[in-house]
Structure 1
Amino acid sequence: MYINGEWEEASSGETRTIINPYNQEEITTVAEGNVDDAKRAIDVARKTFDQGDWPATPANERGEIVYNIGRLIRRDLEELASLETHDSGKTLEESRADMDDIANVFVYFGGLADKEGGEVIEPPIPHSTSKVVREPVGVCGQITPWNYPLLQASWKLAPALVAGNTLIMKPSEITPLTTVKVFELMEEAGVPAGVANLVLGPGHTVGDELAKNMDVDLISFTGGIETGKKIMQAASSNVKNIALELGGKNPNIVFADADFETAVDQAMNAVFFHAGQVCSAGARMLIEESAYDDVVDELVNRTKRIKLGNGFNSDTMSGPLISADHREKVEKYVEMGKEEGAHLAVGGKRPEEPELQDGFFYLPTIFTHCKEDMRIVQEEVFGPVLTIETFQTTEEAIQKANNTIYGLAGAVFSTDICKAEYVASKLRMGTVWINDFHPYFAQAPWGGYKQSGIGRELGVQGLEEYTEVKHIYRNIQPEPIGWFK
């Protein structure tokens, strides 16, 4: 772990073995922190923020440090990508793309550091000035998931540092390796001791302490909805700021006039990329009835050809699920779909190839003849499982797409741009793609409506999450009011 500029073991001496989900081989061991470690890191971050120089460091200097972190990530891209593939099971090609995006996040926020200087307001009171400034929120607790370990960390680390905060990062206990590495790079880039602290360990101990500790001013969490609710409750201890990204059940609407090849290709990418372990996965497909048979037939045929395997093999299209427990969760949802009356068109079981038996693999799966009230349609499976429904009218497509507790992302495919724009305007989601699926970039905000979360990451809005707004009013010609004599 990394606390107050020093690398150290957990106070208890406990460790955790990190395994490769492809074959369950041991990669390494890491420190296993506990509540005491979390409290110590919080105390350091609190003291560093209240008594240290980081919040008052000129914004352009903070920005230069954050920019340099991005430069170092590019320098060590291959090492980081390899670590990520070992740790998470995703393909090396995916991991390389992630690292490039991660470097872009640090570069973007580094460049944004001195561009958000507040604003001057023309007050309605004579002989006065009024200005709005943004100041760092304080001590930030940050909890990241296992599916995009370093990507999600970058979305939190870069804006928090640029804004002048101190922080404690807790990565997922099962995929911490690239986060450990990036803290080495942050140290090399010149992040002062005590500003950024790393505590490894379980969510129910370390994460819970970050959420409820009175000295933490903001808690940022990406993960499951039930954990997010618990974090909200714990954060009420001192009414701390919260930023939550809690996943989604993201609709992919395909109209009959969509470009067939593009719609099918994007639908495959939407749901089966990284074995469906993506918060914005297009796991719920809505196809206009007249195009249903052709689209489904092609999807099923292509799904049968997906090559599962080692993420380091160039011909691997999809890696394993992250763990045995997670695979069991996916399997339970597949059984639930069968019981609910959905038709299993392809997949729905573990692969039979001998070389895949040691890993946590599950075949890409498609359910057809689904109804919108099925649990498999409404709940986030977070695996390679696609449900398909039909619609007849544009309004029906909109109604079905919005009929969920989530509102993270969605897509619409149509060559009628006016129709596509209309549908996009009616979808209650934080991101809507037209004739595409999954693009995101540092300059655009990311987050959801409804129970997909609170707040935004990336973009100017992502930086604002890590600031407090202060209004400063000045009376240029002060004189007695004369109200009380």
Structure 2
Amino acid sequence: MTTQYNLFINNEWRVPQGGKWFDSLDPFSGEAWASIPRAGEQDVDAAMEAAAEALEGPWSRLSGSERGAILHRLGALIEENAETLAVVESRDNGKLYSEVLGQVRYVSKYFYYYAGLCDKIQGAVIPIDKPKVFNYTRYEPMGVVASITPWNSSLLLTAWKMAPALCGGNTMVCKPSEFTSASLLELAKLFEPAGLPAGVANVVTGFGSEIGERLISHPSVARIAFTGGDQAGRAVARLAGEHLKRVSVELGGKSPNIVFDDADLDNAVNGVITGIFSAGGQTCMAGSRLLVQENIHDAFVEKLLEVTKRAKAGDPTKPDTRVGPVATRPQFEKVMSYIDIAKNEGARCVAGGRALTGEGYGAGQIVEPTIFIDVNNAMRIAQEEVFGPVLAVLRFKDEEDAIRIGNDIKFGLAAGVWTKSLHRAMLLSEKLKAGTVWINNYRSTSFTTPFGGYKDSGIGREGGMDAVKEYMEVKSVWVSSDLEMPDPFVRKY
């Protein structure tokens, strides 16, 4: 029996105007388990109208402290309902239930953090070079924000956008991936109990090919916040540019995880595993390029293979599973195609390299944790984002070589460095062209600090106070104390 959802618009559950739904498939079993509303452009228009009215209505009349109280209640409700939300998201995208549960509980902290910032958005009094004139700045909400999120971490990536946007007094229309819409619709059940006025946060679901352009180009939209692949991100940025919309795009990565010969190798192995096999490698910050100093290459790979053998793949609901299924069938096929590409390029597969089928592996959408060695940086397996549990291992000689190889990529989202040398750590943190550099750890994130990429990994930052300002306009106000206006024909600079 499937669960049927409706659209959430203006604090109401609405049937899509086209009267259509589509199935959401469990990535492990392959079975349809939820029925998702298929929104059309009329539904988008209704959501935008609700968000625009809320922006000028009761939401705009709340003080920062009052907005903060609502966001804090939403965080508390997320925390109370974390297990239910995690069950739905795990069922929808196939990630380990244990991982998703921890992630959902962390989502609540985003709302707590930004709740505390709501009444701390401050402008400045600016010393100027003009007599009898007072100048100050103020931050104001941009308006209606259209949020578009991918299938790998629907709730977390929505929170990255929603919490700072609402903190700044904006309103939102959110579109999750068509593959993983259920968890966001479950989250929407908490909006009204938290005290969000009607229209402040709306959820429309459906296919990007049908409603994506309307979401981005709608006259009411002031800003688009997108997370996804780099090709889709280019299309979003291009369309936003045509309509002069503000836009942030958090895109892909091919992040180098760099291990020097003076590193604690056991810790580095654990960090490499965390970087590539957590979430089944389906994360933009995956450390999918492992750079190992050549004099320890063989010993390190041997250690890596031993730990990889313990990465049990299978049912994501079971506590001893370490790698679950790839979230969608098209992505599964893409991952398997890259494994074939790597073999054809001459890379040597020393672990995995196959899909797991049969009893205990569901519908056969599980890719065995895979490691390639003898990789050079010109290979496609080293240059293109696979977005799955596939690791490419490269050798390097010294610091200069590691920096060269690490930066020789179109992406610049993240990087990891494993060394006991403070000098080396600081040198690489400066020279690597990446928005985040982890030293002797990997995949750490926080609501307190900005996250985003260089180069083709995107535009803009999420997290921390930087994220709030991404959703606000800064206004300069000039106040004259002069009792007489000067001669209008004599310009004073």
Question: 1:113, 1:162 within 8 Å by CA — same for their partners in 2?
Answer: yes
Residue type of the alignment partner of 2:334: K
- Quote the offset at 1:157 in angstroms: 0.9
Task: Report SS of the residue matched to 2:242.
Answer: coil
Distance 2:323 2:393 in 1: 21
Q: Where does residue 264 of structure 1 map in the other structure?
A: 269
Report whether the alignment pairs 1:6 with 2:9. no
For residues 256-335 of structure 1, the aligned pairs below 5 Å read: 256-335=261-340
For residues 147-296 of structure 1, the aligned pairs below 5 Å read: 147-296=152-301
Distance 1:240 1:483 in 2: 36
- Quote the offset at 1:201 in angstroms: 0.5
For residues 449-464 of structure 1, the aligned pairs below 5 Å read: 449-464=454-469
Identity of aligned residues (%): 38
Q: Where does residue 345 of structure 2 map in the other structure?
A: 340
Q: Where does residue 49 of structure 2 map in the other structure?
A: 43
Q: Where does residue 442 of structure 1 map in the other structure?
A: 447
- Quote the offset at 1:9 in angstroms: 1.3
Question: 2:34, 2:182 within 8 Å by CA — same for their partners in 1?
Answer: no
Change (3 A) 1:483 1:463: closer
Question: 2:147, 2:175 within 8 Å by CA — same for their partners in 1?
Answer: yes
Deviates more, 1:475-484 or 1:269-278: 475-484
CA deviation map 1:109-163 (0-9, x unaligned): 0111111221111121112211111100011100011000100011111111111
- Quote the offset at 1:309 in angstroms: 1.4
Report whether the alignment pairs 1:121 with 2:119. no
Distance 2:43 2:483 in 1: 51
Q: Where does residue 365 of structure 2 map in the other structure?
A: 360
Distance 1:275 1:192 in 2: 38
Q: Where does residue 396 of structure 1 map in the other structure?
A: 401
Distance 1:102 1:419 in 2: 34
Q: Of the candidates 95, 100, 104, which is equivalent to residue 95 of structure 1? A: 100
Distance 2:329 2:80 in 1: 34
Distance 1:474 1:238 in 2: 33
Task: Report SS of the residue matched to 1:355.
Answer: coil
- Quote the offset at 1:352 in angstroms: 4.0
Question: 2:226, 2:249 within 8 Å by CA — same for their partners in 1?
Answer: yes
- Quote the offset at 1:483 in angstroms: 4.6
Q: Of the candidates 381, 387, 391, which is equivalent to residue 386 of structure 2? A: 381
Q: Of the candidates 88, 91, 105, which is equivalent to residue 110 of structure 2? A: 105
Q: Where does residue 355 of structure 2 map in the other structure?
A: 350
Q: Of the candidates 8, 29, 39, which is equivalent to residue 35 of structure 2? A: 29
Task: Report SS of the residue matched to 1:356.
Answer: coil
Question: 2:54, 2:60 within 8 Å by CA — same for their partners in 1?
Answer: no
Change (3 A) 1:396 1:186: same
- Quote the offset at 1:357 in angstroms: 4.4
Distance 1:136 1:102 in 2: 23
Distance 2:443 2:136 in 1: 39
Task: Report SS of the residue matched to 2:257.
Answer: strand
Question: 2:355, 2:364 within 8 Å by CA — same for their partners in 1?
Answer: no
For structure 1, the 5+ residue unaligned runs are none
- Quote the offset at 1:58 in angstroms: 0.6
Task: Report SS of the residue matched to 1:404.
Answer: coil
Distance 2:163 2:100 in 1: 19
Distance 1:118 1:483 in 2: 30
- Quote the offset at 1:354 in angstroms: 2.1
Q: Where does residue 74 of structure 1 map in the other structure?
A: 79
CA deviation map 1:194-232 (0-9, x unaligned): 111110111122222111223211000000000001111
Distance 2:164 2:67 in 1: 10
Structure 1 residue runs of 4+, over 6 Å off?
none
- TM-score, normalization: structure 2? 0.96
- Quote the offset at 1:304 in angstroms: 2.7
Task: Report SS of the residue matched to 2:409.
Answer: coil
Question: 1:55, 1:136 within 8 Å by CA — same for their partners in 2?
Answer: no
CA deviation map 1:21-77 (0-9, x unaligned): 11112222121111221122112222332x313123211111111111111111111
Distance 2:242 2:297 in 1: 51
Residue type of the alignment partner of 1:221: F
Q: Of the candidates 66, 69, 72, which is equivalent to residue 64 of structure 1? A: 69
- Quote the offset at 1:5 in angstroms: 1.7
CA deviation map 1:427-481 (0-9, x unaligned): 1111000000000010010100111000001100111111011111111114221
- Quote the offset at 1:300 in angstroms: 1.9
Task: Report SS of the residue matched to 1:253.
Answer: strand
- Quote the offset at 1:186 in angstroms: 1.4
Q: Where does residue 430 of structure 2 map in the other structure?
A: 425
Deviates more, 1:112-121 or 1:286-295: 112-121
CA deviation map 1:297-346 (0-9, x unaligned): 12123223311111111111111001211110001111111111111111
- Quote the offset at 1:425 in angstroms: 0.9
Question: 1:21, 1:359 within 8 Å by CA — same for their partners in 2?
Answer: no
